[in-house]
Amino acid sequence: MTVVTGGVAGGVGDGVGGASAARPQLIREINERVLLDHIRRSGPISRTELAGLTGLSKPTVSAALSSLERSGLVHVTGQRTGVPGPAASLYEVRPEAGYVLGLDVGREFLRGAISDLSGSVRARLSVRTKAGDAMARIQELADLAVTLATEAGIQLTQLTQTVLGSPGVYDPRLDALTLTGRLSGWDSPATLAALRDRFGSSLMIENDIDAAAIAERVHGHGRNVDSFAFVSVGTGIGMGLVLDGKLRHGSHGVAGEIGYLPFTEGSGSDPRDARKRGGFDASASAAAVVRAARRAGVRGTSTAEKVFAAAARGDVVAAAVVAEEALLVAKAVCTVITVVDPDLIVLGGGIGQAPGFLEAVVKQLRQMAPVLPDVKASVLGTETVVAGCLAAGLDRSWQSLVGRTANSV
């Protein structure tokens, strides 16, 4: 009944670390994993094709597939005909071998989806939350889970993995949620206990922006690089860092909490926010933009979106506020470059994805960063966090299912 977070371990301790000795069975384990990966990626596929892709011999592929079929992870889905010779059996992942529930808890909305092991979404739903406190919010999440399961036509017990994208981070050393910011009461031990109680042992809690970064890796610009930073600027500020294809949480779970960058020179900073969500968040989040615009005398500045719209219309004062915001974000991106130097920076969030903002940030970056990596704006939308949770849950499900197979064979 432990909450596990993030990037599936899976690392083969490198060299000095402490790799352990290998038995012949390991070969089988590796090869089944490899085959499974190919089947996942290349849809229905024949034994011969798999043999070609992996370099394994036909008898070996056959034996391994039998084993995978016995354990229920793959099945024959049809025959390929139309070519000379006998019809080839086509294998694919058995979608019913597992189901993943992804949830996104925000201040205003709860979103969720259920996907099967093949990755297709069986049910999806967003609701506006009415909850006043943490416990009510958890109840709403549980209700959402039930609704989704019903719609997907499965039992809750069939879920192999549940992933909750949430503000705040899970600190494995303290076994607690911390830095939950705007979500009141969410960082209490009771919240964590209640979540575990409702969602069981397979619950995995992922920072919402980290989840979005995973989605970006699977569906967005992160597909073709193996290290990138997803920088989200909107209601709050945060980052998800993917290095060597793996999301990094850091040793206290705070990797990417760039709201706490020690930049305090912003014009719109609110000291109350600075304590709770970090100095940089207070200086550069949407609320700070609104404050700065109001102070500068821009009219009709109820939301950051309106400030950006005014700037786009040619309001020079609003444009100055936007430029200042771009400078702040560029500084944050510059720190990320100097510290980890990723292949790519993806800007996300309401402000990060605003038209023209990317260019403004890049312009500033050019003058301050030691190198200029690719910088792109995210093209994903409101379902990003849920998609990331599903992807993370799928990954983890695969790991555990394959592991289980290997042991039981």
Partner DNA sequence: AATCGATTGGAAACTAACTTAACAATCACC
Partner DNA sequence: GGTGATTGTTAAGTTAGTTTCCAATCGATT
**Site of interaction with DNA (CB under 7 A):** 21-25, 27-28, 31, 46-49, 55-60, 62-64, 81-89, 409
Closest separation in Å from C-beta 282 to DNA: 56
CA distances from 358 to 17, 226, 318, 329, 378 (A): 41, 22, 17, 10, 10
Note whether 39 binds a second copy by CB under 8 A. no
Q: Which partner, a second copy, DNA, none, binds residue 88 by CB below 5 to 8 Å per kind?
A: DNA
Q: Which partner, DNA, a second copy, none, binds residue 279 by CB below 5 to 8 Å per kind?
A: a second copy
Note whether 381 binds a second copy by CB under 8 A. no
Q: Which partner, DNA, a second copy, none, binds residue 270 by CB below 5 to 8 Å per kind?
A: none
**Interface with a second copy (CB under 8 A), residue from 167, 278, 348, 349:** 278
Separation of alpha carbons 129 and 109, rounded Å: 5
Closest separation in Å from C-beta 394 to DNA: 25
Q: Which of residues 207-246 bind a second copy (CB under 8 A)?
A: 226-227, 239, 241, 243-246
Note whether 42 binds a second copy by CB under 8 A. no
One character per residue 128-167, x = contact with a second copy (rule: CB under 8 A) = ----------------------------------------
Query: What token pair was written down for 323?
Result: 């430029």
Which H or E element spans position 276? helix 271-277
Which DSSP symbol is given to 306? H
- Mind spelling out the 3-state secondary structure of 75-127? EEEEEECCCCCCCEEEEEECHHHCEEEEEEECCCEEEEEEEECCCCEEEEEEE
Separation of alpha carbons 11 and 39, rounded Å: 22
Q: Which is nearer to DNA, 44 or 356 (CB)?
A: 44
Q: Which of residues 80-119 bind a second copy (CB under 8 A)?
A: none
**Interface with a second copy (CB under 8 A), residue from 4, 121, 312, 368:** 368
Q: Which of residues 331-350 bind a second copy (CB under 8 A)?
A: 331, 334-343
Query: What token pair was written down for 30?
Result: 């590796």
Among residues 77, 151, 83, the alpha carbon closest in space to that of 121 is found at 151
For a second copy, how many residues bind (rule: CB under 8 A)?
A: 74
Q: Which partner, DNA, a second copy, none, binds residue 341 by CB below 5 to 8 Å per kind?
A: a second copy
**Interface with a second copy (CB under 8 A), residue from 80, 182, 252, 306:** 252
Q: Which of residues 165-204 bind a second copy (CB under 8 A)?
A: 171, 179
Note whether 21 binds a second copy by CB under 8 A. yes
Separation of alpha carbons 396 and 194, rounded Å: 22
Query: What token pair was written down for 321?
Result: 């506020």
Closest separation in Å from C-beta 18 to DNA: 17
Among residues 309, 304, 280, 277, the alpha carbon closest in space to that of 293 is found at 304
One character per residue 293-332, x = contact with a second copy (rule: CB under 8 A) = -------------------------------------xx-
- 374-377 and 344-348 strand pairing: parallel
Q: Which is nearer to DNA, 28 or 75 (CB)?
A: 28
Which DSSP symbol is given to 4? B
CA distances from 332 to 129, 250, 337 (A): 32, 18, 9
CA distances from 192 to 101, 133, 178 (A): 18, 14, 11
41: CB partners within 8 A, 6+ apart = none
Note whether 43 binds a second copy by CB under 8 A. no
Can you tell me which residue has the tokens 């005909």? 81
Closest separation in Å from C-beta 268 to a second copy: 18
Closest separation in Å from C-beta 48 to DNA: 4
Separation of alpha carbons 409 and 405, rounded Å: 6
Q: Which partner, a second copy, DNA, none, binds residue 62 by CB below 5 to 8 Å per kind?
A: DNA
Q: Which partner, DNA, a second copy, none, binds residue 12 by CB below 5 to 8 Å per kind?
A: a second copy
